Amino acid sequence: MYKNGLSYAGVVSLLLLTHASMLGIVLVRGNYESPKDLIMLACAVLGLDLVGIIASLCYRQMTYTLDLMLLGILNMSLIFQSCFGGVHLSVKFLITCVASLISCEIGFLLTRNHEWIRHQKKYIYLVIGILIACILLFTGGRSMWITFKGFSIQPSEFIKPCYILVCAASIVELHKKIKVTFFYVSPDTLCVLGATLVIFGLQWWCRDLGSLPTFAAVFACAVVCRFCYPRAKISKTWIAVAAVCGVLVLLAAWKLAPAYVQERLHVDIWADQYGSGYQQCQALIGIARGGWLGLGPGQGNLHKVFAYESDIVFSTICEEWGLLYAGIAVLIVLIMLTTVLMNPPKSYYHATMTAGIVAAFVAQMSLNIFGSCNLIPFTGVTLPFISQGGSSLVTCGFMVGMLKAGQSPLFRHKAEKLREDAAAELPSLPFLHKKNSRKSLGNTPQNRRPKV
C-alpha cells in the first residue's frame, strides 16, 4: 500500500480538480442545449473518478501513479469526446473507459509474475493464432474489422499486447540454444521471428499498413533488448547482420509498397484539397482556427469531417480546446510513459515488456499527431487513450496494466515454500532463522564451508 497517504490524497485532489476545471470550461464556453447534458457529463466523470480511486485502493500494489494517470487521461478523453459537435454524454465512450480500466487490472495481474508468464508462452502463441484465424475467417476479405449487428471490433489491436508478451517472455530462454545445420540458434528466438513474420504478413495482406510501424517499433525494442541481454551471447557479427537485414527490409518495403501508399508518401494535400488531402487539410485548418485557447467545447466544425473522433482527433481537440490544452493532454500521456523510467525494471522480462509498450505508444502517437499535421504520411491509426474505439482503448488499458506490472513485479512467488526448502537444506541461514541465528552461527557455517 502507498505509505504516504497525504501525498496520495494530494494527487487525487489535483486529479479531481483537473476534471472539475475542464467541466468549468465546458460550463462557461461550451455549446450545450440544456444544463441536464452538462450535469450528466459531470456526474459520469466525477463518478468514474471516485469509483476508480476506490477500486484501486481495494488491493495492495506498489504503484498508484499509473492508475491515477490512466484514470485522468480516460476521463479527459470522455470530456473531449462528449463535447464534439455539442455537449452530450457519450455513453459508448464511458462504457469503453470502464472496460479499459478493468482491462488494466487484468493486464497487471496476468503479467506481473515473470516465472508464471514464461510457462504460459504456448497459450499466448495460441491466442495470437486464434486472433489471426478470426481475422482471416470473419473479417470478410482484406479487412481488419469484424462487424456483428452494428458492433465492430478490431482483433489486430489485441495482437499487440500478446506480441509484446511473447517478445518479453522469451528473452530469458535465449541462452538455451540448439544446433540447426551449422548454427546454434535459440528456439524461442525462432518462434518470435516466426510470429513476427506472420503478423507482418497479415498486416501487409490486409492493407493495414498504418499498424506496421507500431509492430516494427516493438520488434526493434525486442531485438535491442536481446542484444543487451548478456546471457544471449550475441556476437557483433550477428548485430551487424541484423542491422543490414533491417535496412534491406526497409528499402524493400519502400519500393514494394502498394500504389495508394506511394501516393500518400508524395501527395500534396493543398493541391488536392477535396480529394485525398481533404482530411489533412481540414485538420490543419481546424488547428489554425482553434489557436492557443480553442473555440470552446462543442463550437468547432471538424466534427463534420470523417474520422474526427479517431484519426484526426488531435486536430478536433485543438480546434475546440486550443493547442495549449491539447498539447498538455498529450504531454500527460508522455509523462505516464516516462514515469516508468524513474523505477527501472528489475528483470529483463519486465524491461523488454516496458520498452515494447513505450515504443508502441510513442510510435502510434507520432503517427497520429504528425500525420494529422501533415509532417508524415497520413496513416489513420488511433491516438492512444484519446481516440474513440473500443478495441484500441481496451488494448491501451491492458498495456498500461503491463507497465504497472513492470513497476510492481511479483518476485516472491511461493516464497514461504522456498524458504522452508532452503531452511531444511541450510539450517544455519541467519536471515531465514533470525530467532535461532545465534545458535546456528556457531556450528553450521564452519561445517559447511571450508577455510579459504
Mapped to the 3 state alphabet, what secondary structure does the chain carry?
A: CCCCHHHHHHHHHHHHHHHHHHHHHHHHHCCCCCHHHHHHHHHHHHHHHHHHHHHHCCCCCCCCHHHHHHHHHHHHHHHHHHHCCCCCCCHHHHHHHHHHHHHHHHHHHHHCCHHHHHCCHHHHHHHHHHHHHHHHHHCCCCCCCEEECCEEECHHHHHHHHHHHHHHHCHHHCCCCEEECCEEECHHHHHHHHHHHHHHHHHHHCCCCCCHHHHHHHHHHHHHHHHHCHHHCCCHHHHHHHHHHHHHHHHHHHHHCCHHHHHHHHCCCCCCCCCCCHHHHHHHHHHHHHCCCCCCCCCCCHHHCCCCCCCCHHHHHHHHHCHHHHHHHHHHHHHHHHHHHHCCCCCHHHHHHHHHHHHHHHHHHHHHHHHHCCCCCCCCCCCCCCCCCHHHHHHHHHHHHHHHHHHCCCCCCCHHHHHHHHHHHCCCCCCCCCCCHHHHHHHHHHHHCCCC
By the rule CB under 8 A, 452 interacts with another protein:
yes
Of the two residues 4 and 237, which places its CB atom closer to another protein in the complex?
A: 4
- Residues 6 or more apart whose CB falls under 8 angstroms from that of 9 comprise none
Pick from 119, 176, 414, 439 the residue near another protein by CB under 8 A.
414
Residue nearer to another protein on the CB measure, 343 or 436: 343
Residue 356 Cβ vs another protein, minimum distance, rounded to whole Å: 13
Residue among 130, 251, 265, 422 that touches another protein (CB under 8 A) = 422
The residue (of 120 and 440) whose beta carbon lies closer to another protein is 440
Q: Which is nearer to another protein, 25 or 159 (CB)?
A: 25
Q: Does 5 bind another protein (CB under 8 A)?
A: no
Among 6, 28, 271, 375, which residue sits at the site for another protein (rule: CB under 8 A)? Answer: 28
Residue 439 contacts another protein per CB under 8 A: no
What's the chain's length in residues? 452
Q: Which of these ranges, 50-58, 124-132, 379-387, 440-448, lies near another protein under the rule CB under 8 A?
A: 440-448
Residue type, 138: F
- Candidates 121-129, 264-272, 340-348, 387-395: pick the segment binding another protein (CB under 8 A): 340-348
**Residues 117-176, interacting with another protein (CB under 8 A):** 172, 175
Tell me the closest approach of the beta carbon of residue 305 to another protein, in angstroms: 24
349-368: contacts with another protein (CB under 8 A): 351, 355
Which one of 116-124, 185-193, 326-334, 391-399 is the stretch in contact with another protein (CB under 8 A)?
Answer: 326-334
Binding residues for another protein, rule CB under 8 A, total 79
The interface region with another protein, picked from 202-210, 371-379, 382-390, 408-416 by CB under 8 A, is 408-416
Q: Does 17 bind another protein (CB under 8 A)?
A: yes
If one asks whether residue 287 binds another protein (CB under 8 A), the answer comes out as: no
Residues 60-89 contacting another protein, CB under 8 A: 62-65, 68-69, 72
The C-alpha cell that represents 379 in the structure block: 496513416
Contact partners, residue 197, CB within 8 Å, separation at least 6: none
Task: Find the part of the chain contacting another protein (CB under 8 A) among 43-51, 52-60, 268-276, 335-343.
Answer: 335-343
CB of 8 or CB of 125, closer to another protein: 8
Note whether 413 binds another protein by CB under 8 A: yes
Closest to another protein by CB, 367 vs 383, is 383
Candidates 46, 273, 429, 436: give the one binding another protein (CB under 8 A): 429
14, 43, 243, 247: which one contacts another protein (CB under 8 A)? Answer: 14
35 binds another protein (CB under 8 A): yes
Smaller CB separation from another protein, 14 or 244: 14
Cell of 437: 541465528
* 239 makes contact with another protein (CB under 8 A): no
Q: Which residues in 195-234 contact another protein (CB under 8 A)?
A: 225, 228, 230-231, 233
CB of 28 to another protein, least distance (A): 5
Cα radius of gyration rounded to whole Å, the chain: 25
User: Which of 266, 434, 435, 449 is in the footprint of another protein by CB under 8 A?
Assistant: 449
Q: Is 115 in the site for another protein (CB under 8 A)?
A: yes
Q: Specify the residue, 70 or 394, whose C-beta has the smaller distance to another protein.
A: 70
